[in-house]
Each structure stands twice: as C-alpha cells, then as structure tokens.
C-alpha cells in the first residue's frame, strides 16, 4: 500500500481564495482524521470520520472550514475564504480502529503545507 | 491547562548519551498512551505504545505512572538518527481522539 496520500503537497494562495486539500486514506481503514500543525498551537485535530460519516468536528476553527468524505477512499478539507492565519501544515491520517484500541495506530500522510498571503 | 504537556527542549546531547523525556497529561480517564516521532518537515510516525507495566523496544524504554499522570521515554546510546521531535500522545476525554503534546526536540551531535 502507498500509505496515506495527500495533495497538493504545497499550496500558496492569496487571502480570500478558496483552498481544497485532498486525502486518500489507506485502503481498509475506517477512520480518517484531519489535523492542522502550527508552531504556536502544535498538532490539533480538526475533524474525524468513521465509515465516511463525520463524528466529531469540534476542532474545526470556524465556518470557513468544511470537510467531506464522499466515499471510503477520498476526503477533502475546504477553506473558503482563506486567511493568512490559516497558514499551517495540514495532515490527514487514517487508522483501522479508534484511538485506544488494538490497531489504533494512526498513519499520517506527508501533509499539505499551506501559505495564505 | 493543556491536556498534554511536554518540555519543549531542545535537548542537545552527544552521541552515545542517555536522554529522558517527560510528559504529563490531565485526563485521569485516559487509557492509551503513545510516543510518536516527527522528523523535520515530515509527518508524525508511531514510535511506541506505552503500557502500564512499562515497555522496551531496543534502545527505547517507555514508562507510565497513572497515579502521577506522567509518561516518560528513555533513549539509550543516542544516535545521530534519533534527532527529531518526540510527541507525547494520549487518548483524550472522549476516547476516540488522540491529543498530541507540543513535542520535545532532540538533537544528537557527533
């Protein structure tokens, strides 16, 4: 398996533009997580899905952020409109089982480095 | 108070040294504990789980103290390749989510 795949790897955009980040989880993994990492706040969970259904989006910072998982092999994180404070590395991760159980290891994708000017 | 707190470091050590990192967590109901490693500009990867009785994986030893809500990682005989950020990770209040500490930076020098 190729692991978790994310695209694009780098994105530079201007304030106000729409940004769409993409993720393909490891085949067979039922859990998908979106994280954001910054120097100031570290690694924060934004939202996670179980069997394509959003379970907890309490980490999504505001209405400008939305995430979807239309099928088991694809998820998107959208920011509209983007702001400079959204600049961060966005990671997607997947796992077989939820945290706290056997098979819980979360496998991270390489991340998307987003810069909003 | 943050759910998971770590000393950010950096820890600068010579090759061959033994180094220990500590981490405290606030949720007494947490059941799962891990150390992840993150290389510069890379994604986090699981280093090891932490079990109640303590566990060892080669040069790495993890300990858990539930009474003090404290986790440690000991690295013996440090290698240059151990240079990375070590993230203490705990499952959060609501079970299915992992909470990551801010990380401890380790730099091993020759």
The pLDDT tens digits for A39-66 are 999 999 999 999 999 999 999 988 999 9
**Which of B9, B36, B21 is closest to B98 using CA atoms?**
B36
Nearest Cα residue to A4 out of A102, A91, A113: A91
A95 and B CB contact within 8 Å: no
Cβ–Cβ gap B97/A48 under 8 Å: yes
Length of chain B: 110
Rounded CA-CA distance A83/A19 in Å is 10
How many residue pairs from chains A and B have C-beta atoms closer than 8 A?
A: 46
Whole-number Å distance between alpha carbons of A3 and B106: 27
In residues, how long is chain A? 117
Question: How distant is the Cα of A88 from the closest Cα of chain B, in angstroms?
Answer: 12
- Residue B7 tokens read as 């000393």
Given CB atoms, is A54 within the 8 Å cutoff of chain B?
A: no
Helices and strands, counts by H and E, chain A: 0, 11
Task: Choose between A38 and B92: higher pLDDT.
Answer: A38
The Cα of A69 is separated from the nearest Cα of chain B by a number of Å equal to 18
Tens digits of residue pLDDT in B43-93: 999 999 998 888 999 999 999 999 999 999 999 999 999 999 999 999 866
């Amino acid at each position: 398996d190729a692991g978790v795949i994310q695209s694009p790897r780098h994105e530079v955009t201007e304030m106000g533009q729409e940004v769409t980040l993409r993720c393909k989880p490891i085949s067979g993994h039922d859990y998908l997580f979106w994280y954001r990492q910054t120097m100031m706040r570290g690694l924060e969970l934004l939202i996670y899905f179980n069997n394509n259904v959003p379970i907890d989006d309490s980490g999504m910072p505001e209405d400008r952020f939305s995430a979807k998982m239309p099928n088991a092999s694809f998820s998107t994180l959208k920011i509209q409109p983007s702001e400079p404070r959204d600049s961060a590395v966005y990671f997607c991760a997947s796992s077989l089982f939820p945290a706290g159980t056997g098979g819980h290891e979360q496998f991270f994708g390489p991340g998307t480095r987003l810069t909003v000017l | 108070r943050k759910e998971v707190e770590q000393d950010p470091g950096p820890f600068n050590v010579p090759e061959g040294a033994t180094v220990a990192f500590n981490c405290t967590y606030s949720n007494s109901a947490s059941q799962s504990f891990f150390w992840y490693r993150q290389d510069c500009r890379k994604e986090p990867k699981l280093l090891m789980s932490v079990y109640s009785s303590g566990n060892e994986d080669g040069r790495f030893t993890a300990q858990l103290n539930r009474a003090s809500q404290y986790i440690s990682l000991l690295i013996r005989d440090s290698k240059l390749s151990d240079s990375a950020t070590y993230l203490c990770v705990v499952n959060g209040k609501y079970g299915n989510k992992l909470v990551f500490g801010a990380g401890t930076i380790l730099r091993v020098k020759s």
